[in-house]
Structures are given as C-alpha cells and as structure tokens.
Amino acid sequence: MNNLPFQVTVALAAVMTASIASANAQTLVNQPDIDPRSNLTENLTAQARTVEQLLQQVSELQGIGKYREAIAALDQIVKLKPDSFLAWYWRGMAFSRLDQYESAVTSYDEAIKIKSNYLLAWYEKGNALYKLKRYDAAIASWKQVLSLQAVSDYEQQLVKTVVPKQIAQVLTHNLQRYDEAITFYDQLLKVDSRNAEVWSDRATALYQLRRYQEAITSCDRAIEIDARHALAWKQRGLALYRLERYQDAIASLEKSASFNADDIEVTALVAALKTDRESSTESSAELRTSQQRLVALQGDIRTAEEKLVTLRTESQTVSVQLETSRTEIRQSQQRLVALREEIKTVQADLESFKKERQTLEARLVSVRGEIETSEKRLEASQTQVRQSEQRLVAIREDIKKAQVEVEALKTERQSLEARLDAVRGEIKTSQERLEASRTEIRQSEQRVVAIREDIKKREVEIASLNKERQSLEQRLVSVRTEIETSQERLETSQTQVRQSEQRLVVVREDIKKAQVEVEALKTERQSLEARLSAMRGEIETSQERLATSRKEQQTLQQRLSSLQAEIRTSEQNVTASQTQLRQLEARKETEAEELQAIQVQYCGLQEDLSEMEVAIRQLRGVRQGSETVQRCSLSRDD
C-alpha cells in the first residue's frame, strides 16, 4: 500500500483495532480491556476523514476546471498532513493549469522531498521549467525521470519515448546542442528503429552540424520507412544542395513538393534553383513591363501579408486551445494513475478482510472447543451431585437403622434393669455398645453436614456454569452474525472491484489513443517550426549565392536577370501567399475539428474518472456530498 493515502490507512487500522477490541471484550467477560490510546486513535480517524473529504473535493474541482478553489482545498490538506506527497503534486498541477509555473515548481519540489522516486512529479516539474524557458533545469528533471523505475504503462511510455524525445527536441531547437540531441535520437531508435519522424529529426541535427552526408543517410532511412515523407525529402534536398549536387537537390525537393504541394519554401527554392540555371534574354521593353508588374504585385503581396498575419494569429489561438486540451488530458491520465493506485489499495484491504475472517473462524473453533469442555465439566458436576444424593440416601437409611437399634437397646435396657444384679456385666457391655452407636451417630451427623455444604457448593458451581454457558451461547450468536456480515461485504466489494477493472480497461484504451494523437500533433508542430526556420535560412543563403553568380555576368544581363527574378519572386510570393492563406484556413478548420474531438475525449475521460471515483467511494463505504457521476455536454454519449 505504498500509494494509499496515510489518512485512509489510519482509518482502516482504527476500524480493525476497534473490531478486535470488541471481540476480545466479548470473549473475556470478567477481564475489561481499557485502551489508553483510544483518544489518539479517534483523533487520527477524524483527521483521516477530513483529509479524505478534502481530497474528494479537490478531485471534483479539478474536474470542472476550478483550479483556484482546488488550490485552497489542497492548502488545507497540507496543513493537516504536510507529508502528503500526492497533495503537493496535485497542488503543482493546479498551478500549472493557471500558468503559475514558479509556484508549480515549488509544489513539485515539496512532493519530491517527501517521495524522491515519484516519477510523475519529476516529469511535471520539467514541463513547468520548460514553460519558464529554463531549458537546462528542465532537461535535468527529465533526466531524473529516466533514472527512476517505471511502474504503470503510462510511466513506461514516458521513460521509453516521450521524455527522450522532449529532451532531444529542446537540445535541437532551443539550446542548439546537436551532439547531445543525436545521442537521444539514437536512444529512441533503439526502442523503435522504424520511426520515420525520429530519423528525420536526427537528420536535422546532423545538418546543423554540417555533417551533410550523414544527414542524407538518415533521410534515406526515413524514406525507406515512409516513401511519401515530405520532410525527409526536403531535408535531403537541402543537404544535397550544401554538397553542390544541384541536380539531385532539385530532384529531392521536387519529390517533397509532390507529396506536400502547400510547402511554400520548397516551391520557392525549386523555382530559385531552376532560375539560377537559366540565362536571361529578355529585352529592355520587357524590363519596363516587368517593373510595372512588380509594382502591382508588391501591392498584392502587402494585402496577402496582412491576411497572412491575421490567419497566423488565429492559428496561434487555436494552437493555445489545443495545448490546453492536451494538458487537461495529461492531468486526467495522472488522475487515472492515482485511481489505479487506490484500487490496488482497496484490493489490499480486501485481502486484510479475508485474513481477519480466517482469524475469526479460528476463534470460533476455539470458542466451540471451550463450550464442549464446559459441557463436559457440567456433566461431570451433575454426576457428582447424583452420587452425593445417593450417598445421602444411604446415610439416611443408616440413621434409621441406628434409631431402630437405639429403640431396641432401650427395650433391652428395661429388661436388663430387672435383671440388673444378675447381669451387670451384660449391662456394661450394652452401655459400651450404646456409646459406640452414639459416636457413630455423631459422626454420621457430621458427615451429613459436610455433604450438605458440598451440595451447596455444587449448586453454586452449577449456577455459575449455567451463566457461563449462556454467555458463550450469546457470543457464538454474535460471532456468527459478524461472519455473515463480513462475507456479504466481501462479496459486494469483489463485485464492485471487478466492475471497476472492466471500466478501467476501457478508459486505458481511450487514454492511449488520445496520447498517441496528442504526441503526434505536438511532434508534427515542433518539426514543422524547426524545419521552417531551417528552410528560411536556406532560402536566404540561396538568394545570396544567386546574387553573387549574377554579378559575374554583364551589367545589363545582371539588371535584366535581377528584375525578372524579382518579378517571378513577386508572382510566386503572391501565389504562395494565396496558397498559404488557403492552407491556413484549411488548417484552422482541421485544428478546430481536432480541438472539438479532443474536448469530447476529455469530457468522456472526466465522466469515466467520475464514475470510478463514485465506485471507489462505494467500495470504501464512505458517503460524500454527491454520489452522482459528473456529466459533460460534449461527452461521447452525446
């Protein structure tokens, strides 16, 4: 029960202690059991219930996006229980949702102080540091994640793919430490050598190190896996251009353009390369016409650029919304991990209940043995009483006989008195016999008194045994009732746990699908941004080289070529701007649809989590303010 909240553990221990104490009190009727720690146990139990209620409240507030109220509740929890690492972790998550990353880092640090091997806290701390643009610190936290033992499927996915990929991308795009980035790309390829995206990203890092031939090799590997990988073809064309293999570069760039016709940079670069290889034979009249067309195209370009800025702003807004939805999905995944840990705890509690049941059964067998022993002792006492009664009857018969003899002696004495003088010797003998008889009578009377006292003692003992028997019968009825109640609770808990496991399997599948989609979108966006920057640099370099080569020609040809190039570039920019406008509009619609889909998935996850929380509360037997499932207007059922 490593992940069970401390307060719940204390409450369960208190309940079990009270149950055992009650059973002992019934067993030992004449031995009262006074526990000096009862007040402490009651205080801890009350505290555990308070913290449990606050945790439930935090879960509900986070589910509906009320992060400030959740932070207030978490502050109360850490005051009651400062060593609750889960409360500190949830506090950091709430601050992250509010973009208060400094406070989030502080809370993650507190969670790590309490539990240094808490993998999720290290991971989220790295994410917060990345948002603060503290890239080295973020990488240090992520590397700590890689050094820890992953338990759940989600944690294993973080260690194997997600965290190494994040480190490699930060090293490539933010810190320009390309050698280290290549190390992590190689690590990812050991896990999955058929990942075309990783091969393409590795080629980008090699290109920045001017290791163009190795970059071409990585691009070739990506193309082997996915022959329609436009970015790999594009990166390959740039590397070939750097090696001055212009014809091969044009062929690769045309391949890229054929797979992604909306890539403006590739289209412009191919046109520039082809223009550089053509000679100019245009006349001065065409030059003036071209200048007029250039002026008109510049106006169109400015208009297109304004529209492009507007669409980019809208695209950024949609991107922010997507990032928010992805963050909420990640939070739901983490809450699901916490729920899995609580389910494990409930299973452990069920095992303890089984052990307690076995103990009660053993105690029942012992009680039955004691009852049988008591019955045997009672039967023996009754036998002794019957024997004493028989002895009393025999004594009474002896007394009657003695009385008859006394009467006979008296008669004989009267006869002997007449013959006193003649038979004095016989009188003396008769007197001696009479004295002996009297002595025997006194002894008999003493024995009768002793037997009566023994009979009274036996009667008291029999009454005590009857009371003890009645007490044992009452205890036996109570123990049987407790066993039946425990069996019913155990069967109910097992049924609820099986239902929770089935629903958990469905939730895991949905979460895995959402994770794959979110990671793919995030990777594609970062790759596009990085490659866009690289392509812009390449275009600038290509234009400089074109200008240099044109200066070597004649002055008039240079001017004509320059004007024609500007006209063509302007036309291409207009066409490209229009294409980009259409592309951004289409992308905006696509991202809006993706955002809607992610929101639906997130609502579905919220409902599943709410259902699981209600089931767990029912398993624990704790009633909260609300036993209903939180529904969402965008859920999958709608």
pLDDT in tens, 2-57: 444 433 343 444 434 334 333 333 333 333 343 434 444 455 455 566 778 888 88
What is the rounded CA–CA span in Å between residue 43 and residue 37?
A: 10
Output the six-digit token pair for 353.
Answer: 């209940």
- In single-letter form, the type of residue at position 447 comes to R
Q: For 197-215, what is the mean pLDDT? A: 95
Is the pLDDT higher at 468 or at 531? 468
Residue range 242-272, pLDDT digits in tens: 999 989 999 999 999 999 888 888 888 888 7
What is the rounded CA–CA span in Å between residue 486 and residue 354?
A: 9
Closest CA to 7 of 37, 43, 49: 49
pLDDT of residue 254: 92
Can you tell me which residue has the tokens 């009754």? 382
Torsions phi, psi of 623, nearest 5?
A: -100, 130
Can you tell me which residue has the tokens 């729920």? 339
- 508 Cβ contact partners less than 8 Å away, ≥ 6 residues apart: 153, 336
What is the rounded CA–CA span in Å between residue 612 and residue 337?
A: 12
What is the rounded CA–CA span in Å between residue 184 and residue 190?
A: 10
What is the rounded CA–CA span in Å between residue 18 and residue 145?
A: 42
Q: Does pTM surpass 0.75?
A: no
Report yes or no: 145 and 119 within 8 Å, Cβ to Cβ.
yes
Is the pLDDT higher at 626 or at 479? 479
Q: For 425-438, what is the mean pLDDT? A: 71
DSSP alpha helix (H) spans, 243-283:
246-259, 264-276
pLDDT of residue 4: 40
Can you tell me which residue has the tokens 């190494």? 164
What is the biggest distance separating any 2 CA atoms in the chain, rounded to whole angstroms?
197
DSSP alpha helix (H) spans, 98-134:
101-114, 119-131
Report yes or no: 311 and 585 within 8 Å, Cβ to Cβ.
yes
What is the rounded CA–CA span in Å between residue 268 and residue 277?
A: 15
CATH number of 358-498: 1.10.287
Q: For 517-540, what is the mean pLDDT? A: 66
Output the six-digit token pair for 222.
Answer: 């990506």
pLDDT of residue 563: 67
Residue range 301-329, pLDDT digits in tens: 566 555 555 565 565 555 556 666 666 67
What is the rounded CA–CA span in Å between residue 74 and residue 86?
A: 10
